[in-house]
Amino acid sequence: MAEHAAARGGRAGERGHPAPGALRPAAALAPWGLVPERAQRVPGGELKETWLVDCAEGRFALQAYPPGSGTEVAVMAGWQRRLAEELPFVPPPRPTRAGALSAAAGGRPVTLVPHVGGAPADVRRPAEVAAAARALAAVHARTAAWTGAAPRPPYARFADLDWWRNPLWDLAEVEGLCRAAGRSGLWLRLRAGVGAAVLELSAFAALDLVEQVVHNDFHPGNVLVDGGRVAGVLDWAEATVQWRVLEVADAAWAFGGRAPDGSLDASAARAFLDAYTGAGGRITGVEAGLLVRALRLRRLWESCYQLGLACREAEPPAPERLSAVERLLTALDAVPDDALR
């Protein structure tokens, strides 16, 4: 989510990490030699905590990540800086006085990036959708040339992911959550979907698909537009190495291709895809035939992820939250595989 709006934030007790203490912005900014004049925590969040801080040097987004993730955060910040050198809409991490792109505060790695103005891309505005597609094409064009990059935990390659239990979710816990909420049907639907996904991914793995660094959370809330141009592509916290087709398919759905029932508006999705390829984004013939199947896999991953988060929340999830997951999965199942060919 956007660094200045609804960023994914630190959640106490993430699986595999101890519960972090409260972040103290003044202490966290010390490695940068900055003194906050005003600091405000951004509401919401999942895997990181974000503060807006005003200093004499300007306004920044201070972001704290789960304990133990320092190596992964350093890799992410390096990718972000590399892209920022070529793409003006990628906010560059500010180096500390020691020249590092991240620091430690309260037992957690932290980064600092400049605040970006603008508003989330409006999927009802074709010009903004096209601008977002061009931005994604530009990102992919740069990262396609990178060699030696590897997935960042906990965001594993789909082909390598244990879909039943991993650092982001445990489906045994999800089953308990669903049954406690009287939603056994959702659990059965999810279990069947994961079983089918394992087989589907074996087919994907045999196709030698293009794999590269992707943003991995490219949706309207993370793409800020100002005056008709993309001012910022934010929140690189989930960036990893993944099949490109997963990100392209999911972005086409998120930027207008999402029908009211959560299924696919093929015409709107094609508009995004046309703008993406028109700006130099690549979709191979094999990828074109997999777009709908890739979208289903990406949304199944997101559903498992969100339910995994719900398992670690203090309060039971609202019934509508569970209903929305089930409706989405059911709606996407009904979309023909060739809807975007």
Q: pLDDT tens, 267-277?
A: 999 999 999 99
Q: Let me know whether 106 and 133 are in one domain.
A: no
Chain centroid to CA 135: 15
**CB within 8 A of 311, min separation 6: which ones?**
169, 170, 173, 174, 176, 177
Q: What is the structure's pLDDT at 47? A: 76
Looking at the fold, whether 176 and 273 belong to one and the same domain comes out as: yes
What residues make up the domain containing 253? 126-333
pLDDT of 9 reads 33
CA 41 from chain centre, in angstroms, equals 20
One domain for residues 192 and 296: yes
Q: If you average pLDDT over every residue of the chain, what do you get? A: 93
The residues that bridge with 64 in the sheet, in sequence order, are 49, 110
94, 171: one domain: no
Measured CA to CA, the distance from residue 114 to residue 199 in angstroms comes to 43
Q: Identify whether 157 is part of a domain.
A: yes
Q: Do 133 and 266 sit in the same domain of this protein?
A: yes
Full 3-state SS string of the chain: CCCCCCCCCCCCCCCCCCCCCCCCHHHHCHHHCCCEEEEEECCCCCCCEEEEEEECCEEEEEEECCCCCHHHHHHHHHHHHHHHCCCCCCCCCCCCCCCCCCEEECCEEEEEEECCCCEECCCCCHHHHHHHHHHHHHHHHHHCCCCCCCCCCCCCCHHHCCCCEECCEEHHHHHHHHHHCCCHHHHHHHHHHHHHHHHHHHHHHCCCCCEEEECCCCCHHHEEEECCEEEEECCCCCCEEEEHHHHHHHHHHHHHHECCCCCECHHHHHHHHHHHHHCCCCCCHHHHCCHHHHHHHHHHHHHHHHHHHHHCCCCCCCHHHHHHHHHHHHHHHCCCCCCCC
Determine, yes or no, domain membership for 224.
yes
Calculate what percentage of the chain has a pLDDT beyond 70.
Answer: 93
Q: What pLDDT was estimated at residue 216?
A: 98
**Residue where a domain terminates, one of 116, 139, 159:** 116
186 pLDDT above the threshold of 60: yes
User: Which pLDDT score is estimated for 11?
Assistant: 36
Query: Does residue 207 surpass a pLDDT of 50?
Result: yes
| pLDDT, tens digit (0-9, with 9 covering 90-100), for 210-239 | 999 999 999 999 999 999 999 999 999 999
CA distance 257 to 210: 23
Reference 259, options 269, 270, 245, 246; nearest CA is 269
pLDDT number for residue 12: 35
> What percentage of the chain has pLDDT greater than the value 90?
89
Closest CA to 272 of 248, 294, 243, 289: 248
- pLDDT of 116 higher than 80: yes
pLDDT tens digits, one per residue of 3-12? 433 333 333 3
Would the pLDDT of 61 be above 70? yes
Residue 324 confidence class, pLDDT cut points 50, 70, 90: very high
- 318 plus 171 within the same structural domain: yes
Mean pLDDT of 162-189: 97
Last residue of a domain, one of 76, 95, 116: 116
**pLDDT higher than threshold 90 for residue 179:** yes
Q: Is 31 within the bounds of a domain? A: yes
Cα–Cα distance, 145 to 299 (Å, whole number): 27
pLDDT at 132: 99
- Count of structural domains within the chain: 2
Measured CA to CA, the distance from residue 252 to residue 5 in angstroms comes to: 23
Q: Using the 3D structure, point to which of 83, 116, 149 is the last residue of a domain.
A: 116
Decide if 211 is inside a domain: yes
**For residue 3, is it within any domain?**
no
Pair 169, 313 in one domain:
yes
CATH number at residue 153: 3.90.1200.10
341 within a domain of the structure (yes/no): no
**What is the pTM assigned to this prediction?**
0.92
Structure tokens at 155: 């965001």
Rg for the chain, CA atoms, rounded: 20
Tell me the per-residue pLDDT of 14-51, one tens digit each, with 9 for 90 and over.
444 444 557 999 999 999 999 999 999 998 667 789 99
Per-residue pLDDT reduced to its tens digit, 233-285 = 999 999 999 999 999 999 999 999 999 989 999 999 999 999 999 999 999 99
Q: Are residues 191 and 75 in the same domain?
A: no
